[in-house]
Structure 1
Amino acid sequence: MTFALAIPSAGGSIESYIQSVNRFRILSQEEEIRLARSLRDEDNIDAARQLVLSHLRVVVAIARGYKGYGLPQADLIQEGNIGLMKAVKRYDPERGVRLVSFAVHWIKAEIHEFILRNWRLVKIATTKAQRKLFFNLRSMKPVLDTMNPAEVNTMAKQLGVKAEEVVEMETRFNGRDISLEPLSEDDDDTFSPVAYLTDGSEPPQLLEAEQTRRLRGEGLERALASLDARSRHIIEARWLRENDSATLHDLAGELGVSAERIRQIEAKAMEKMRGAMVAVA
């Protein structure tokens, strides 16, 4: 069974969206069970919609906990909403567990996957243990300062990873952008990276750099050309616009499908593009 629900979009003002979802009434346990049974036994889409709408505020609360990863809050909420809909679809009212308790896992799982797919600093979070490290490092650190060896070993043991992986992940979190140029024209004593980095002016380096740029450009064009029109439109709208990139719900409304369907098309397109890029390289 699948269903697509018309729910408020987080693509506009976050404040307006929060006000909107807070207007939906919280269901009693008896109402929740009745609606869940109606969905299960009768495929009642309206029952599913009521269950989802009454829990949208939960998604907002969970998504707020992931602000520190540098991703749009609207996208985090939309991914969490997909997790909520999956939870509603799989919820069993006979187990005696409230939907909110069951849905938290699905909401967090979708948000986690979205962050791991899109956060550029994450390179080592490939195993279950490393993902656990990624999402627990900040909350488990006793202080904001760099951890000492004993603290590193304790965290590694608790999370089932190597101490080296804890150190590497902490380094990624603590890394900061460095300005290549001096911050002030009056600061003559400041040695910024631009003063001592090589300029790469040797002919072999220039040739290699030019070849790399050409191959990447050709690879991207070939990768995009391998997609059908709808997939290409989604990739360009989501990732290739310099400003105002589209959210999943923006494209869902434009193309008349669910946000989850947009995400599925996007994932398949990305996989196809990676294959094309490798072929060019």
Structure 2
Amino acid sequence: MTHSLVPVAAAPSSDLAVAGSWSRALTLPPLGHLDAYISAVNRLPMLSLEEEQDAARRLRDHNDLEAAGRLVMSHLRLVVSISRQYLGYGLPHGDLIQEGSVGLMKAVKRFDPDQGVRLVSYAIHWIKAEIHEYILKNWRMVKLATTKAQRKLFFNLRSRKQGLRAEAADGDTHREVLSDAEIGLMARELNVKPEEVREMETRLSGGDVVLDPAPSDDGDDAFGPIAYLADGSHEPTAMIESAQRDQLATEGVARALSELDERSRRIVSERWLQVNDDGSGGMTLHELAAEYGVSAERIRQIEVAAMKKMRKALAAYA
């Protein structure tokens, strides 16, 4: 856990200058670990309404960093409290506090004491928004929610799902997949379509998969999805070879056939290029022998010579 209020590197670019100047003014002494930081934050004094408004006006009117420090430091316990609500996402508590602190600084920067609300009420939105953004970017490698409606559904679905599990009529609190009745109930409660609930539930229940795992300790390559997900048909070499085969099967064969005399061309076509409706081939050796008045062996000899000549023509074409 950083010793300063919030690391400058964690602040967005639009607030980098403010975060940089405030981080020099708003620091806690070296604390060693997160529990000590939280304990120190909870001992910081709260501001009365008059003190808060006075500090907010001095910041607004005179850009008083000392006043900003008093406002931020007195509300760090709020950041810690809100960040605890999001520990179920498996992200480090210190990072949640850090992102929430960025949101608190944004709130202090924009707070207007003349609006008639306390800073604590105004800052909650900014703290949660910053934590939400951090969770959506880091909970999974692939971003789960991009629109405002999806973000709202993402955070509401987890909490509502826990409630449904506790009230499960069938007593099966360990069942992972929502039933159709539960999806319909949740859709009505959240005022969304059942299809949207089902889609988000699918995204939440799925995990990240390493496509190309690292080699094991014994030096063998680990088997991963990349081994069977790769599409070899779009590999450049395979595409070139496929195009060449197609060209040989059309233009190449046509040119090779043109090198033969009429009888040899017909024998090859009937024996190798004709396909009947029932899937059978063309004429047999005996049928061609009867047509040309020669023996079947002679037809075979003509076919062999024609095929040899075609192979030479195809090799020259390739």
The aligned counterpart of 1:159 is: 190
Q: 1:65 to 1:11 in 2, by over 3 A?
A: farther
The aligned counterpart of 2:81 is: 61
Aligned AA (2:155) = F
Distance 2:195 2:72 in 1: 42
- Secondary structure of the 1:24 match is coil
Deviation at 1:66, TM superposition (A): 0.9
Deviation at 1:168, TM superposition (A): 3.0
Deviation at 1:55, TM superposition (A): 0.3
The aligned counterpart of 2:100 is: 80
Distance 1:198 1:78 in 2: 36
Q: 1:153 to 1:171 in 2, by over 3 A?
A: same
Q: 1:159 to 1:11 in 2, by over 3 A?
A: farther
Q: Is the 8 A contact 1:38 1:44 kept in 2?
A: yes
For residues 213-270 of structure 1, give each alpha carbon's deviation from its aligned partner in whole angstroms, at most 9, with x where no partner exists: xxxxxxxxxxxxxxxxxxxxxxxxxxxxxxxxxxxxxxxxxxxxxxxxxxxxxxxxxx
Report the TM-score when normalising by structure 1.
0.59
Distance 1:125 1:176 in 2: 15
Aligned AA (2:62) = E
The aligned counterpart of 1:92 is: 112
Deviation at 1:159, TM superposition (A): 3.1
The aligned counterpart of 2:246 is: none
Q: 1:199 to 1:44 in 2, by over 3 A?
A: closer
Q: Does 1:109 align with 2:129?
A: yes
Report the TM-score when normalising by structure 2.
0.53
Distance 1:198 1:103 in 2: 46
Deviates more, 1:50-59 or 1:134-143: 134-143
Aligned AA (2:52) = E
The aligned counterpart of 1:46 is: 66
Distance 2:131 2:82 in 1: 9
For residues 170-193 of structure 1, give each alpha carbon's deviation from its aligned partner in whole angstroms, at most 9, with x where no partner exists: 234344699xxxxxxxxxxxxxxx
Q: 1:135 to 1:122 in 2, by over 3 A?
A: farther
The aligned counterpart of 2:160 is: 140
Amino-acid identity (%): 56
Q: 1:82 to 1:129 in 2, by over 3 A?
A: same
Q: 1:15 to 1:101 in 2, by over 3 A?
A: same
> Residues 223-238 of structure 1 correspond to what in structure 2 (within 5 A)?
none
Q: Greater relative contact order: 1 or 2 (C-alpha under 8 angstroms, separation 6 or more)?
A: 1
Distance 1:151 1:124 in 2: 21
Q: 1:198 to 1:97 in 2, by over 3 A?
A: closer
Deviation at 1:62, TM superposition (A): 0.6
Pick aligned residue for 2:50 from 12, 18, 30: 30
Q: Is the 8 A contact 1:121 1:172 kept in 2?
A: no
Aligned AA (2:131) = I
Q: Is the 8 A contact 2:144 2:203 kept in 1?
A: no
The aligned counterpart of 2:202 is: 171
Q: 1:103 to 1:43 in 2, by over 3 A?
A: same
Distance 1:198 1:75 in 2: 32
Rg comparison, structure with higher value: 2
Q: 1:18 to 1:124 in 2, by over 3 A?
A: closer
- Secondary structure of the 1:5 match is helix
- Secondary structure of the 2:200 match is helix
